[in-house]
Amino acid sequence: MPTVRVTRRAHFCSAHRIYRDDWSQEENREVFGDCSNPNWHGHNYILDVTVEGPVDPETGYVADLKVIKQVVKERVVDDVDHRNLNLEVPWLEGTIVSTENFAVAIWERIRGSLPSTVRLHRVFLQETPNNSVEYLGPEGD
Amino acid sequence: MPTVRVTRRAHFCSAHRIYRDDWSQEENREVFGDCSNPNWHGHNYILDVTVEGPVDPETGYVADLKVIKQVVKERVVDDVDHRNLNLEVPWLEGTIVSTENFAVAIWERIRGSLPSTVRLHRVFLQETPNNSVEYLGPEGD
Amino acid sequence: MPTVRVTRRAHFCSAHRIYRDDWSQEENREVFGDCSNPNWHGHNYILDVTVEGPVDPETGYVADLKVIKQVVKERVVDDVDHRNLNLEVPWLEGTIVSTENFAVAIWERIRGSLPSTVRLHRVFLQETPNNSVEYLGPEGD
Amino acid sequence: MPTVRVTRRAHFCSAHRIYRDDWSQEENREVFGDCSNPNWHGHNYILDVTVEGPVDPETGYVADLKVIKQVVKERVVDDVDHRNLNLEVPWLEGTIVSTENFAVAIWERIRGSLPSTVRLHRVFLQETPNNSVEYLGPEGD
Amino acid sequence: MPTVRVTRRAHFCSAHRIYRDDWSQEENREVFGDCSNPNWHGHNYILDVTVEGPVDPETGYVADLKVIKQVVKERVVDDVDHRNLNLEVPWLEGTIVSTENFAVAIWERIRGSLPSTVRLHRVFLQETPNNSVEYLGPEGD
Amino acid sequence: MPTVRVTRRAHFCSAHRIYRDDWSQEENREVFGDCSNPNWHGHNYILDVTVEGPVDPETGYVADLKVIKQVVKERVVDDVDHRNLNLEVPWLEGTIVSTENFAVAIWERIRGSLPSTVRLHRVFLQETPNNSVEYLGPEGD
């Protein structure tokens, strides 16, 4: 059967800041600029989760997108939507919440919960219309 | 000369929460839901400022959009981008930072700074792709 | 208090056709073209419902968008999403399901279910990225 | 019958510059900035033409959008797409091709060619994602 | 000469349902949910066809996009736009019209009709803003 | 450290034409159609520059996007925005300004100016919403 990639998009709104607490506020500002604002800022994130696998001849699906949607909801969106990424998300604790680190953490967060018939191919995370990242996993796909 | 409306779009990213400090956290959560999260959340706002006026026969412009852009930047964007709307914006102090109140405050913030040849027609503010408000001024246009 | 307009967006996917059953298939095709295809076609509709009202000084809201969202869901989306507009929607029975008639029917469908503090201002319905309609009510607003 | 507004969107790509030939290049640059570049620049314009009228009970249409599309194509798009707005469009001759003047000219260009059952309500013209104008006709609607 | 990928986008509107006629309606609903609705539903599909090849030094083109557009139109869009994918498209007969199977069928449908100087690289098919698939061919590219 | 791709988007507006001056106007029109119009046309280009590299454990960044933004601005946008690509851009001289050649030229223009810790992965250039190209470098990535 052909191998196809399937993408499910999710949206969420979070507060965060980029900073290191072992640096002074001046050092943080110098390296991270406005993104280190101690009073936080936030974003409407767009998350695309792409999985890859053979098309099931019985259903025509690589994966039931309702299942992928549910995994992304339970493992990611419910934890981060209308939350502070630095203060309220256990699986981001101790992480500088850059878009890069956030995407890698989302990868780790969902890869074990996907149906066994698919392989996680890509996590794409858009922070603003002009800034985005994609992570293809530890083997760079 | 014909009267035309001209719109300039701006983007900014801010943190906020919707709450009243004269209410308990439970009351806030009951009325405002996740939007009252004490640890904040945030958005990529889209702001459209529309002005209306006669086309200047000398330039073909209702207004120089560089001027409108500069007014929106100096009076609004510089104050709110990568900021906490509840804690860091003097002209929002004492306001519940709903999208409605925020749009009205932006109207008040810019109407006195526009070129005298135009009338502020509309402030459109999108908080998420699914939620937006528009304010047409105290006379409802 | 200032009067502000608040818009909630919804998405749904439906099948339909434009035709009159008192016309022959040839007549239908001549007037409605491909849109009259007896085997149906369909769209991803975008629906913007805009309500208008005074900002409540206690909450900063014209309306709780969760309520508007719920009204739009219960009165419209649940009835039309993944449905055939011609065959399965009681409140469209006997109607030629043009985007115009559909928007007017949505207006009638929701206006009685909105909070009493707001007035329905506009129903905007996009059928394709290039085709859309807006209805401002029987008094043309 | 209810009155509804119907919008048809068109796209085109054109070159232009904003300048007055009775001004020196320095004067043009001072007033119009980069937009006066003698070697031209260009845009992907988005044009929304909105007409208003009663819904025809026989068809459910305010207007056949194929007809509106054809009018916009013949009277506007065919003349401006992949053209130089300053040099090649007879109905823009002698006009400073600002977005304002262009929108007014498009209004004049199409209003006489529309079906008699509709009234031209609005010409919306987007020059860039951040800059747009709308014209509601000589009576400001 | 450098190898570059070129993408042409097309839009079309179709009705379909996801179901197996060797299953009962209950089984279909259990597996496919609302997508199996016997009365159909539909979508505004977005199709991106990406081809890859060396840049022709004589023209600067990998391929004339007018040619790619024409192939996509003749081999795909003309057959599916305003059609029922289950009932009216010979090259989808016997196929469960999931987005996955549809994308694979589009690949097969166009790869033999492309200019010999390019290789089909990817078929991307968006069913809704939140659901999409991509197919890179039988060798997974 | 994980390897992540980071994308920065930029916008610019330019005039151009596709033609060879060693061909007659008729030959140019035959091959390039309206794109060869001697009076120019233009576009709102969208440029996505994607770099790839390990996440710096000290900052959580693959690259400071302010730096990428600055490189793209200084090496590309400042040279082409509101300019004529055929007449005013030294690094496009002698090039047929197809989207393909333009993307390759942008690659060459920025790859030497990026931080040493990242590798340029992709230049994506959208000329119109329906036409775009991507270049992955001389080794096809």
d(CA F56, CA F3): 10
The answer to whether residue E41 is catalytic is: no
Residue type present at position B31: V
Task: Indicate the pairing of strand D83-84 with strand D3-16.
Answer: parallel
Cα–Cα separations (whole angstroms), residue F35 to D83, E19, F15, F18, F32: 9, 46, 11, 5, 6
pLDDT grade for A140, boundaries at 50, 70 and 90: confident
The predicted structure's pLDDT at residue C107: 98
Q: Is residue A52 predicted with pLDDT exceeding 70?
A: yes
The closest CB to that of C83, out of E39, E82, E88, belongs to E39
Secondary structure string (H, E, C) spanning chain B: CCEEEEEEEEEEEEEECCCCCCCCHHHHHHHHHHHHCCCCEEEEEEEEEEEEEECCCCCCCCCCHHHHHHHHHHHHHHHHCCEECCCCCHHHCCCCCCHHHHHHHHHHHHHCCCCCCCEEEEEEEEEECCEEEEECCCCCC
pLDDT grade for A141, boundaries at 50, 70 and 90: low
The predicted structure's pLDDT at residue C139: 85
What is the model's pTM? 0.97
The predicted structure's pLDDT at residue E139: 85
Q: Above pLDDT 70, what percent of chain C?
A: 99
Question: Tokens 């709307």 label which residue?
Answer: B85
- Counting runs of H as helices and runs of E as strands, what totals does chain D give? 4, 5
> Quick one: which H or E segment has residue C69?
helix C65-72
Chain B meets chain D (3+ C-beta pairs below 8 A)? yes
Q: Above pLDDT 90, what percent of chain D?
A: 97
CA distance E92 to chain C (A): 15
Phi-psi region of E42 (alpha: psi -120 to 50; beta: other; left: phi over 0): beta
CA distance F30 to chain A (A): 38
- Nearest chain D Cα to C138, which residue? D2
Smallest Cα–Cα separation from A20: which of A86, A85, A73? A86
Smallest Cα–Cα separation from B87: which of B38, B51, B43? B38
**DSSP secondary structure string for all residues of A91-104:** GGTTS---HHHHHH
- Nearest chain E Cα to C80, which residue? E41
Contacts of A128 (CB under 8 A, 6+ apart): A43, B11, B13, B44
Task: Indicate the pairing of strand E41-54 with strand E119-128.
Answer: antiparallel
Q: Which residues of chain D are within 8 Å of residue C132 when distances are taken between CB atoms?
A: 6-7, 9
**Start-to-end C-alpha separation, chain F:** 21
> Averaged over A68-93, what is the pLDDT?
98
How is residue C3 written in tokens? 């009067």
- For each successive 10 residues of chain C (141 residues), what is the average pLDDT? 97 98 96 97 98 97 97 98 98 97 98 96 98 94 60
pLDDT grade for D141, boundaries at 50, 70 and 90: low
| Torsion from C-alpha of D101, D105, D107, D113, nearest 10 degrees | -170
The predicted structure's pLDDT at residue D96: 97
| Model pLDDT for residues F10-68, shown as the tens digit of each residue | 999 999 999 999 999 999 999 999 999 999 999 999 999 999 999 999 999 999 999 99
> Averaged over F88-106, what is the pLDDT?
98
Q: Which residues of chain C are within 8 Å of residue D9 when distances are taken between CB atoms?
A: 129-132
Domain range F3-135, its CATH number among 3.30.479.10, 1.20.58.220, 2.40.37.10, 3.40.605.10: 3.30.479.10
F9 touches chain D (CB under 8 A): no
Question: Tokens 């502070």 label which residue?
Answer: A84
Q: Is residue B141 predicted with pLDDT exceeding 80?
A: no
> Averaged over F104-133, what is the pLDDT?
97
E125 touches chain F (CB under 8 A): no
| Cβ A71 vs Cβ A113: under 8 Å | yes
Runs of H (alpha helix) within chain A: 25-32, 65-72, 78-80, 99-111
d(CA C134, CA D53): 11
The three-class DSSP label of residue C7 is strand
The predicted structure's pLDDT at residue E140: 75
The predicted structure's pLDDT at residue C141: 60
Tell me, what DSSP letter sits at residue B23?
S
Beta bridge partners of E120: E51
Tell me if D131 and B61 make a contact (CB, 8 A cut-off): no
ipTM given for this complex: 0.95
> Quick one: which H or E segment has residue C6?
strand C3-16
pLDDT grade for F141, boundaries at 50, 70 and 90: low
Q: Is residue D140 predicted with pLDDT exceeding 90?
A: no
**Start-to-end C-alpha separation, chain B:** 21
Average pLDDT, chain A: 97
d(CA C71, CA C91): 16
- Residue ranges per structural domain of chain C: 3-135
Q: Given C35, C43, C52, C88, which residue is catalytic?
A: C35
The closest CB to that of E100, out of A4, A8, A10, belongs to A4
The answer to whether residue E13 is catalytic is: no
Q: Above pLDDT 70, what percent of chain E?
A: 99
Q: Which residues of chain B are within 8 Å of residue C51 when distances are taken between CB atoms?
A: none
**Start-to-end C-alpha separation, chain A:** 21
| Model pLDDT for residues E110-122, shown as the tens digit of each residue | 999 999 999 999 9
CA distance D58 to chain B (A): 35
How is residue D31 written in tokens? 């007033």
Question: Tokens 């008699």 label which residue?
Answer: D116
The three-class DSSP label of residue B79 is helix
The predicted structure's pLDDT at residue E127: 98
Question: Tokens 């392989």 label which residue?
Answer: A119
d(CA F141, CA F132): 18
How is residue A4 written in tokens? 């196809």
Could you say which residues from 42 to 101 on chain F have a Cβ atom under 8 Å away from some Cβ of chain A?
55, 58-62, 65-66, 69
Tell me if B40 and A35 make a contact (CB, 8 A cut-off): no
| Model pLDDT for residues B32-70, shown as the tens digit of each residue | 999 999 999 999 999 999 999 999 999 999 999 999 999
| Cβ A100 vs Cβ F5: under 8 Å | no
The answer to whether residue B13 is catalytic is: no
pLDDT grade for E141, boundaries at 50, 70 and 90: low
Q: What is the CA radius of gyration of chain F?
A: 17
Catalytic (active-site) positions of D: 35, 82, 127
Catalytic (active-site) positions of A: 35, 82, 127
Q: How many CB atoms lie within 10 A of CB A41?
A: 28
The predicted structure's pLDDT at residue C73: 98
| Torsion from C-alpha of B87, B91, B97, B98, nearest 10 degrees | -160
Q: Is residue A33 predicted with pLDDT exceeding 80?
A: yes
Q: Above pLDDT 70, what percent of chain B?
A: 99
Tell me if A101 and F8 make a contact (CB, 8 A cut-off): no
Q: Which residues of chain B are within 8 Å of residue D132 when distances are taken between CB atoms?
A: 6-7, 9
Q: What is the CA radius of gyration of chain D?
A: 17
Smallest Cα–Cα separation from D16: which of D91, D76, D78, D102? D102
